Amino acid sequence: MNNTAKDVIYLLACAVNGISPDKERVRAMDMEKLYEFCKWHTLRAAVHTALKSAGVTDHEFEQAYNKAVRKNIMLDVERTAISEELEKSGIWYMPLKGSILKDLYPENGMREMADNDVLYDSTKQQKVKELMLSMGYTAESVGKHHHDTYMKPPVLNFELHTVLFGANIEHLHDYYREPQRLMIQDEGKKFGYHMSDEDFYVYVTAHEYKHFSSGGTGIRNLLDCYVYVKSKGDSLDWKYITEQCRQMKIDDFESSRRALAIKVFSSSELPVLNDAEQALLEEYIKYGTYGTVENHMAHFAPHRSKTKNILRNMFPSMNYMKTSVKFVGKCPFLYPLGVVYRWGRVLLIRRKYLSTILKVMKKNAKEKV
C-alpha cells in the first residue's frame, strides 16, 4: 500500500469518527496525489471534512465538497418531488443505496452522490417515462437494462430500477426476484416503501459483491459498510443477515468485508493486518468507485478459451437477454433478432467499450500462450 492510500484511510477514519487529524502530518501530504486518489474513489468531500478539521484549506477539495453538498440537496428535493408524483399516480417505489446511506454520515455532503437509485413498479414503465418527461427529464435509456436512466441539467441523474439485479448474476437475481416480500410501507405513504435495516444491509452487501466480483470496487464501499455498522450495528439481527447472505453465497464476502471495514476505520491508526486482510484491502485500493471494464473481463475471461469468450459475449444467456433487450423479454422467441440488435447497438453507440473488451480478450489470449 502506497503512502497516498495510507493518508486517505487515515483521513477517512478521522472524518467519520470526529477526530481532528494531526496538522503536521496533513501538511506533509502530497495534496495533488491525495486529490486524484480521492477523485477516483469518490471521496473528496469526506476527506475535505478531515482536512478542514485540521485547519488545512485546499481549494480543489473545498470546491468538490461544496458541489457535493449542493448536489445532495438538489437530489433530495427532486427525489421528494418524484416520489410525490408516483404517489399521485398510484405507482409503488422504494429509494435505494446511497440516498439512504448518505444520511448516516456525520455531515451532509460527506458522501458524494453521482445519482439516485429508486426501485419502482416495472408494470408502469411507460407511465413513469411520461411522468419523468413531464418533469423536464430526458430519457437516456428506458427498457434496455434492469434500470432506466433519466437526466436533467445541470446535475440530476436518476436510475429507476425495474428489478434489483439483472439475470447475468443468477444467484442474486433469483434471491431478489420478488422484492415486494422485503418491502415495508412508509409511514404516511400509500405507495412509498423501504427495507428493514437488516434487509437493506444485505442488499447493499449484495450490490457491492456484484461490483467487487466483476469490475472491482473502491474504498467508498468499505467506508459505507463501516458507517452503516457503526450507526446500526448493535440493533441488527446478525443471525438473520448471515443466513440471507448464505442463501446468496456471499456470506464469506460479507463477514470478511465487514471485519476489514471495522478494523481499518475504527481508529485513526492503521492496525496490523494479516495477509488475507491486507490482500482484501489492496483489492479495494486498486480499483476506483466503479471498477474497470478491464477488470470485469479479467475476472471472467481467464476461465474460458478465446473462442468461448467471443461466443459468450456475442450470444448471452436467454435470462440476460430478457433484461437487456426489452422485446426479447416480451417475446423470447425473438432472441436471434435481439442478438443482432444488441451488437448493432454496441457497434454504433459503444465502440470504445467494445474496443476495450477486444483488447482484454487479446491480452488474455497472449498470456495463455
- Report whether 290 contacts 215 (CB < 8 A): yes
Domain hosting residue 53, numbered range: 1-57
Answer yes or no: do 358 and 337 share one domain.
yes
Answer yes or no: do 84 and 177 share one domain.
yes
Answer yes or no: do 111 and 220 share one domain.
no
In a domain, 145, yes or no: yes
Q: Is the pLDDT of residue 169 over 70?
A: yes
- Report whether 208 contacts 96 (CB < 8 A): no
In a domain, 173, yes or no: yes
Looking at residue 105, what is its pLDDT?
97
Beta bridge partners of 13: none
Q: If you average pLDDT over residues 94-98, what whole number do you get? A: 95
CA distance 180 to 184: 8
In a domain, 65, yes or no: no
- Report whether 189 contacts 93 (CB < 8 A): no
Q: Which of 172, 195, 218 is the last residue of a domain?
A: 195
Q: Is the pLDDT of residue 3 over 80?
A: yes
Number of domains composing the chain: 4
Cell, residue 184: 415495508
> To which H or E segment does residue 93 belong?
strand 93-96
Q: Render pLDDT for 35-77 as a digit per residue (tens, 0 to 9).
A: 999 999 999 999 999 999 999 999 999 999 999 999 999 999 9
Q: Is the pLDDT of residue 209 over 50?
A: yes
Answer yes or no: do 324 and 273 share one domain.
no
- Report whether 306 contacts 364 (CB < 8 A): yes
Q: What phi, psi does 206 have (nearest 5°)?
A: -65, -40
CATH number at residue 171: 3.30.460.40
Answer yes or no: do 79 and 179 share one domain.
yes
Q: Which of 195, 219, 248 is the last residue of a domain?
A: 195
In a domain, 165, yes or no: yes
What pLDDT band is residue 214 in, cutting at 50, 70 and 90?
A: confident
Answer yes or no: do 105 and 134 share one domain.
yes
Q: 40-44, 267-271, 318-322: which range is least confident on average?
A: 318-322
What pLDDT band is residue 293 in, cutting at 50, 70 and 90?
A: very low
Answer yes or no: do 79 and 176 share one domain.
yes
Q: If you average pLDDT over residues 8-30, what whole number do you get? A: 96
Answer yes or no: do 111 and 151 share one domain.
yes
In a domain, 62, yes or no: no
Answer yes or no: do 214 and 312 share one domain.
no
In a domain, 70, yes or no: no
Q: If you average pLDDT over residues 242-264, what whole number do you get? A: 97
Percent of the chain whose predicted confidence (pLDDT) is above 90: 70
Answer yes or no: do 98 and 128 share one domain.
yes
Q: Which of 149, 173, 195 is the last residue of a domain?
A: 195
In a domain, 28, yes or no: yes
Answer yes or no: do 29 and 116 share one domain.
no
Q: Render pLDDT for 79-94 as a digit per residue (tens, 0 to 9).
A: 999 999 999 999 999 9
In a domain, 154, yes or no: yes
Q: Say if residue 154 is preceded by a cis peptide, omega within 30 of 0.
A: yes
Q: Is the pLDDT of residue 170 over 50?
A: yes
Answer yes or no: do 94 and 184 share one domain.
yes
